[in-house]
Amino acid sequence: MPEALAELIVATIEQGVAQAGTLTAYRKPLVAFAPADDPQFAALRHLAEPTHMLPEDLCPGARSVVSFFLPFDVSVVQANAAHRSRVAREWAVAYVETNALIGCITARLIALLGEWGVRAGAEPATGNFDPETLISRWSHKSVAVVAGLGSFGLHHMVITDAGCAGRFGSLVVAADLPPSPRVVKERCLYFYDGSCRACVDQCPIGALDVDGGIDKQRCWQRCLVFAEQFKALGVAEICGKCAIGPCALASTVEE
C-alpha cells in the first residue's frame, strides 16, 4: 500500500507536468516524502514562524508529507538573465502558470487519494503568508528541506539537485508513504567554500548580503512593481534575479 500510493503520487505529478499545456516548459519534477511526525516540522515554529502549521493542521490524521519541485526549463532562466534589472515576461508567465499547475496537481492528488479512501490536504503555492512579516505559515520551501529535496542557499532559496529555478508544492497525506532518504549535503557554493556570491551581486536593489541577511520588505516592494507590470497575466509578484545564477539549474557543489 505505501509503495503503491507513492507510485500513484509520483506518476500523477509527472503526468500533470507532461500534460500541462502551458507556455512554460519544465524539466523532470522532483518528488520526496517525509513522515508527518518528523520533529523538523515542529522545529519550524522556532526556526521560521511561531504559528507555522503542522502537517496535522492541514490534514487530520496526517502520516506523511509530499514535497515536489517543478523546475523551469533552461529557456526561462536564460530569458530572465538577459537583462540585469528588467524581469522577463517568460519568468512572470512561468510563475503564474506554475502556481496554477501546482494547484491543479494537488487537487488531482486529493481527489485520487480520496478514491483510495485516503484523506489529503494542501496549501496554495503562494499567497499564504503574513502581509506584515512576509513569512508563510506553511512554507513549501522549508517543507522541501525537511523532505530532503534540497537545502537553503545564501539567497534564501532552496537549491535542489535540479537547481532553484522553479516552484515548490506540497501535500499532507493521512497514510504512510516510504520516507525518502534525506542526504545532508551543502548545495550552495558560498556556504560550501565561499567561492560564489552571484545572487548577492545580481540583486539589483541590494536586498541580499553575504552575511545571509535579506531585506524582505525591499525585495517585496520590487516584486510588487512587477506584479503591477504583469497584472494582465494574473498574480505575478516576481523578480527572480537571485535565482538565475550558477545554482539555477543544478546543485553547484560537486560530490
Residue 91 lies in a domain: yes
- The number of distinct structural domains making up the chain is 1
Neighbours of 102 (CB within 10 A): 24
Residue 103 lies in a domain: yes
- Set of cell numbers at residue 192: 560550501
Residue 157 lies in a domain: yes
To the question of pTM greater than 0.75 for the whole model, the response is yes
Residue 55 lies in a domain: yes
Structure letter (DSSP) for residue 88: P
* 194: region left, alpha or beta (phi > 0 left; psi from -120 to 50 alpha): left
Using CB atoms within 10 Å of the CB of residue 83, give its burial: 0 to 12 exposed, 13 to 18 middle, 19+ buried.
exposed
Sequential pLDDT tens for the chain (255 residues): 799 999 999 999 999 999 999 999 999 999 999 999 999 999 999 888 888 999 999 999 999 999 999 999 999 999 999 998 999 999 999 999 999 999 999 999 999 999 999 999 999 999 888 878 888 899 999 999 999 999 999 999 999 999 999 999 999 999 999 999 988 889 999 999 999 999 999 999 999 999 889 999 999 999 999 999 999 999 999 999 999 999 999 987 866
Domain of 176 in residue numbering reads as 2-243
Q: How far apart are CA 191 and CA 115, in angstroms?
A: 45
